[in-house]
A and B are shown apart, each in its own frame.
Chain A
Amino acid sequence: MSEPIIELVDLTKKYRLFTAVDHINLTVRKGEIFGFLGPNGAGKSTTILMMLGLTEPTEGSVRVCGIDPERQPLGVKRRVGYLPEDVGFYDNRDGVFNLIYTARLNSIPEDEAKTRALELLQLVGLEDAAQKNAGQYSRGMRQRLGLADVLIKNPEIAILDEPTSGIDPQGVKSFLNLILKLRDEHGLTVLFSSHNLHQVEEVCDRVAIFNSGKLQAVGDIEALSNQVFGESGHNLEEIYNCFFEGGTEQ
């Protein structure tokens, strides 16, 4: 469980005058469920994009599964499943087609892709909507289809950008359980950004708190509680508020 799978060293991204990500150092270990927290525009998504090689860092380096995504983007993309914020699908095609298409882009043979797609649709509770066009899916259904889309390529790491937004409470519960189950049974590493502190607290082993491009704190809840309040036992909400509502106690 201690083998590092994502390593960020002095990672920086500048857009002309604006620094979106400012010298971030972070290590995610294999089999961890890691939470990214922070207000909008704190640099979470930009960090994720750099991990995938979708945007180039200005400074610093990224290693995902020991590979540099800037040099070998395909190697990283083969091992990492990414669920973007507000994911979209081909609206004029049904759910199964969208999944099979992703599978075939990952060089999975068509027959196998089909059986896997149907299994995964069942897993995320969309078996009834499998033949429906993705255009008719609700936001929550799209998120679930997005999770199936991430899992169809058997990733080592799943990067989920606000995966639970738009899903009903019951759905969120099974979504989080599914994530835990995948981690326990397959050693999947999950990196997961969210604004819902309770969800993060429930499933994440460790969290990183971002603010205006800087990493404010990293660690498990206990460690953060000790760091902020000097004592354990505080929950994530109290810790988080400490950083963003006149957080001067540090």
Chain B
Amino acid sequence: MMNVNITAISQKRFNNNAKKSPYSMSLNRNKVQHPFWVMVSKEISDQVRSWRFIILVALIALTCLASVYTALTQFPKSAGAKSSEDIFFFLKLFTLSDGTLPSFTVFISFLGPLLGLSLGFDAINSEMNRGTLSRILSQPIYRDYIINAKFLAALSVVSFLFVTLGLLVVGAGLIFLGIPPTVDELWRVIFFVLLSIVYVAFWLNLSIFFSIIFRQSATSALAGIAVWIFFSIFYNMIIQLIAKGIAPQQIYSEQQAVNFQNFVLNLMRLNPSQLFSDATVTLLMPSVRSLGALTMAQVEGAIPTPLPLGQSLLMVWPQVTGLVAGTIVLFAISYYLFMRREVRSR
């Protein structure tokens, strides 16, 4: 094996030094792609090739299409009712359910976390266990490229998936209903898709965080699933218990009842999936005028019409801010921990 000429390599060595012009994000094969984008594209292809991603996409696609199908079968029944919501006929595709199968939005709020967790739970620890981390870190890249590339790759996969799903649902609606969505409805759908991406990004960052603090990917996957189950099943039960415990013995005024109700609601909103469902309900059901309890005085004189898009967005702004903030905080903690971590070979 020694007979191979090394001179070829030595010539390349000097050629290579001559053309060092990185920092261009070009897809041209002859030009040099910036190392960061090389990493992102490798991570994306890793995600797309993995079995767990294929399984989850199949699961999400099937359940969502099933829920859209039931929504479509429900349309003739609900179309009869003349209410202010009929203007937003198209959005019902996302929210209608016949009681046997949950609606599209409920599926997203339930399965979205699972998708986020599965894309990130072994982000860092698998690199450590395989012994690739120290090798990659000794290449001329900054350390944060690794965590940024992993996050960005998973996020772009999720975005692609959700945009596709959203378009599929809109397309199915166009074909089977024959009514095009209005501009307002289309914007609401776009905001809903964006919101779903942010929601999944939150869980993605949580799982990346676990992948940094736990050395075993099985542990980090379990930790992520535990948090998911806690928030989707137990959290509401606990809040009910607390609410029962602190409920006033006797309600003296309307104001008191409203305050109590809002307090309980705010406790519920510590749950990211509650934030998500608050926001989706407001976006996709324009007739929703408030997310909390209101006193009679506040409701008095209100005209029962759907809210314009701007007003709906204003109403969900705190929820969206909360979700984005949670995502950023988790990412910042992961980033800090990862940068501080000493990397040795396995």
Q: Which of A45, A80, A120, A151 contacts B138 (CB under 8 A)? A: A80
Interface residues on chain B, size class = 35 or more
Say if the beta carbon of A185 comes within 8 Å of chain B: yes
Say if the beta carbon of A112 comes within 8 Å of chain B: yes
Q: Which of B1, B29, B140 contacts A77 (CB under 8 A)? A: B140
Name the segment of B128-136, B263-271, B287-295 touching the other chain. B128-136
Residue numbers in B under 8 Å from A88 (CB-CB): 130-132, 135, 346
Say if the beta carbon of A91 comes within 8 Å of chain B: yes
Q: Which of B10, B33, B140, B345 contacts A74 (CB under 8 A)? A: B140
Residue numbers in A under 8 Å from B134 (CB-CB): 54, 82, 84
Residue numbers in B under 8 Å from A181 (CB-CB): 2, 6
Say if the beta carbon of B250 comes within 8 Å of chain A: no
Scan A108-125; emit 1 where CB is below 8 A from any B CB, else 0.
111110011001101111
Interface residues on chain A, size class = 35 or more
Contact, CB under 8 Å: A108 / B138: no
Contact, CB under 8 Å: B138 / A112: no
Scan A50-90; emit 1 where CB is below 8 A from any B CB, else 0.
00101100000000000000000111011011111111111
Separation of A92 and B139 alpha carbons in the complex (Å): 20
Contact, CB under 8 Å: A119 / B4: yes
Q: Which of B7, B17, B139, B345 contacts A102 (CB under 8 A)? A: B139
Say if the beta carbon of A182 comes within 8 Å of chain B: yes
Residue numbers in A under 8 Å from B140 (CB-CB): 74-75, 77-78, 105-107
Separation of A74 and B346 alpha carbons in the complex (Å): 23
16 contacts between A and B (CB under 8 A): A54-B137, A55-B342, A82-B135, A85-B345, A88-B135, A90-B46, A105-B39, A109-B19, A109-B32, A110-B29, A110-B33, A115-B12, A119-B8, A123-B1, A185-B7, A185-B10
Closest 9 pairs (CB-CB, A-B): A88-B131, A125-B1, A82-B138, A84-B345, A107-B22, A88-B130, A105-B139, A78-B140, A77-B140
Given contacts A84-B138, A116-B9, 10 further A-B contacts (CB under 8 A): A87-B135, A88-B346, A92-B49, A101-B42, A102-B135, A105-B141, A111-B29, A112-B15, A123-B1, A151-B9
Interface residues of A (CB under 8 A from B): 45, 49, 52, 54-55, 73-75, 77-78, 80-92, 101-102, 104-112, 115-116, 119-120, 122-125, 146, 149, 151, 153-154, 161, 174, 177-178, 181-182, 185-186
